[in-house]
Amino acid sequence: MSSTKRMLPVSAPVIFVLLLFLIGPAALLQGNNPLLWLLCVLVVIGISAWILNTIMLHRIHVRRLMPDHGVVGEALVIGYEVSRQGRFLPSFDVTISERLEDSRLSDTSPAWILHVGPQQNVHGEGLFIPSCRGRLEFKDMEIRTGFPMGIIPRRRIVSLLQDIRIHPAIIRLKPNLVQSIVGAGGEGRRSVDRHGSGLDYFGTRAARSGDSWRDIAWKISARRDNLVAIERARPASPRLRVVLDLTVPTDELQVSSNDEYSASELEERAISLAASILRDASSRGYDTALTVQGLDVQPYQLRAGLRHISRMLGTLADLDLQQPREHWTTLPERERSGLVLINPDRVRRPLQRSNAWHLTGRQLEELRESPVQQDSPESEETAA
């Protein structure tokens, strides 16, 4: 067994104070010249470090660069633009950290910048991992430096109120899940009533140069003097609507005392499952839509694009589960699309459509794509 050695934490301010307490009394009581000189050197170093750190932090300007959004469980990168407004002295060893009173972050890593020259702009990055969805507020930044030796570190608080929207957690679903939902009953796939390069019949037209012999309507052309070509319908993208059922209040969900998840956790898992299905379908080029039942949320129409999926994920991020719940409202019956209904605790069937899929927040782990397990050398030798 190999033993690992752990390094003891070394704090420069603590060592400096210990040296002062050890050398100071001996130098003053004994009157020893070397000890007096050493005490004077320590005092001069401490005062110089305090003055130098104060000057370095005096003319530093920091601007926070926020991304568009964050995702629960994924690294959130916050950029910082640091500028030195002084004309002569640079700044060294600048650490920027956020003073967050909110416990919505599971891990943080401050930004560190080695050198900022006079009248120079330098960029740094801090990493944060959100633990829940919603609005995350950043208010106070702490700018700290301990140059040159970290003996007397100085800090300055900068107030700058900004917030960022945190989307629900996105999981990797099983590859065939969204395809199965969209293909249920053939409702998710259709053809647009416009000409294109599909397989469905759209109409006929006069043949043009470049048309394939397979596109010629020979029977119709035989009755006319000119060749007639078949016009094909343009295929449309598969379509999927996700319905999130939040009509039942949190305290009325069917959760037992021995249940693995609480009622609020089941609602969050249902929201995360809806967001994961929408993201997966959008990445495949599908037209997606979202309907939230139980809360005052305007339903989305079937569309595609990054802006559309970002708006739907933003709606899921802003859901307030403390609001009073409303009754179920019906869905349009003539909409041709794949349909999945997500409940937090158990399956409820208010829909009359036989081809609708019903999922719950309890199934989140079952629908997650299992990681690929590589065979170890020991298992290969055993199999051989």
DSSP readout, 181-214?
HHTGGG-S--EEEEEEEEEEEEEEEE--TT--GG
The neighbour count for residue 210, using CB atoms within 10 Å, is 6
- Using CA atoms of 24, 27, 33, 36 in order, give the dihedral in degrees to the nearest 10: 20
Q: pLDDT exceeding 70 applies to what percent of the chain? A: 84
Residue-wise pLDDT for 95-144, tens only, equals 999 988 767 787 788 999 988 888 889 999 999 999 899 999 898 999 99
Using the 3D structure, point to which of 206, 235, 264 is the last residue of a domain: 235
- Residue 316 covered by a domain: yes
For residue 134, give the nearest of 363, 326, 321 by alpha carbon: 321
246 and 282 fall within a common domain: yes
- Residue 20 covered by a domain: no
Where do we find the tokens 């899921």? 316
Q: Which two tokens stand for residue 184?
A: 């249920």
What is the average pLDDT across 195-216?
67
Q: Which comes out higher in pLDDT, residue 272 or 42?
A: 272
- Residue 353 covered by a domain: yes
Q: Residue 183 is which amino acid? A: G
Q: How far apart, in whole angstroms, are the C-alpha atoms of residue 134 and residue 164?
A: 8
Q: How far apart, in whole angstroms, are the C-alpha atoms of residue 109 and residue 77?
A: 10
The neighbour count for residue 187, using CB atoms within 10 Å, is 20
Q: What Cα–Cα distance (Å) separates residue 102 from each residue in 74, 151, 170?
A: 18, 31, 22
Residue 264 DSSP symbol = H
Query: Which pLDDT does position 9 carry in this prediction?
Result: 56
231 and 243 fall within a common domain: no
Q: pLDDT averaged over the chain?
A: 81
245 and 298 fall within a common domain: yes
The pLDDT of residue 195 is above 50: no
Sheet holding 91-99, edge to edge: 70-71, 154-167, 134-145, 91-99, 111-116
Q: Which two tokens stand for residue 216?
A: 């010629």
* 3-state SS class at 287: strand
| Helix, strand, coil percentages in the chain from 3-state DSSP, rounded to 5 | 30, 35, 40
Q: pLDDT exceeding 90 applies to what percent of the chain? A: 30
116 and 209 fall within a common domain: no
Query: Which pLDDT does position 212 carry in this prediction?
Result: 76
Q: How far apart, in whole angstroms, are the C-alpha atoms of residue 239 and residue 181?
A: 10
353 and 246 fall within a common domain: yes
Residue 192: pLDDT band (50, 70, 90) is very low
210 and 279 fall within a common domain: no
282 and 218 fall within a common domain: no
Q: Which of 10-19, 41-50, 229-238, 311-320 has the lowest mean pLDDT?
A: 229-238
- Residue 181 covered by a domain: no
Residue-wise pLDDT for 218-250, tens only, equals 777 777 778 877 776 555 678 899 999 999 898
Residue 208: pLDDT band (50, 70, 90) is confident
What is the average pLDDT across 168-184?
85
Q: Which of 27-36, 61-70, 141-150, 245-254 has the lowest mean pLDDT?
A: 27-36
Opening angle at CA 302, ends 298 and 303, nearest 5? 110
Query: Which pLDDT does position 6 carry in this prediction?
Result: 52
What is the average pLDDT across 290-317?
92
- Using CA atoms of 175, 178, 179, 182 in order, give the dihedral in degrees to the nearest 10: 180
Query: Which pLDDT does position 234 carry in this prediction?
Result: 54
120 and 211 fall within a common domain: no
Residue 332: pLDDT band (50, 70, 90) is low
* Chain centre distance of CA 130: 8
- Residue 139 covered by a domain: yes
- Residue 89 covered by a domain: yes
Query: Which pLDDT does position 351 carry in this prediction?
Result: 65
> What is the pTM for the complete model shown?
0.74
What is the average pLDDT across 85-101?
84
By the 8 A CB rule, do 127 and 75 touch? yes
The pLDDT of residue 382 is above 50: no
3-state per-residue secondary structure call for 40-99: HHHHHHHHHHHHHHHHHHHCEEEEEECCCCEECCCCEEEEEEEEECCCCCCEEEEEEEEE
* Chain centre distance of CA 301: 24
294 and 351 fall within a common domain: yes
For residue 80, give the nearest of 64, 60, 66 by alpha carbon: 64
The neighbour count for residue 30, using CB atoms within 10 Å, is 10
Q: How far apart, in whole angstroms, are the C-alpha atoms of residue 377 and residue 229?
A: 62
Query: Which pLDDT does position 1 carry in this prediction?
Result: 44
The gap between the terminal CA atoms of the chain, to the nearest Å, is 30
- Residue 216 covered by a domain: yes
Which residues have a Cβ under 8 Å from the Cβ of 221 and sit 6 or more positions away?
207, 227, 228
For residue 133, give the nearest of 219, 50, 70 by alpha carbon: 70
Query: Which pLDDT does position 187 carry in this prediction?
Result: 47
What is the average pLDDT across 280-285?
90
The neighbour count for residue 80, using CB atoms within 10 Å, is 20
130 and 215 fall within a common domain: no
Domain extent for 276: 239-367
135 and 223 fall within a common domain: no
156 and 198 fall within a common domain: no
Using the 3D structure, point to which of 167, 200, 224 is the last residue of a domain: 167
What CATH number did the domain enclosing 114 receive?
A: 2.60.40.10
- Residue 200 covered by a domain: yes
Query: Which pLDDT does position 383 carry in this prediction?
Result: 46
Query: Which pLDDT does position 314 carry in this prediction?
Result: 94
Task: Count how many domains the chain has.
Answer: 3
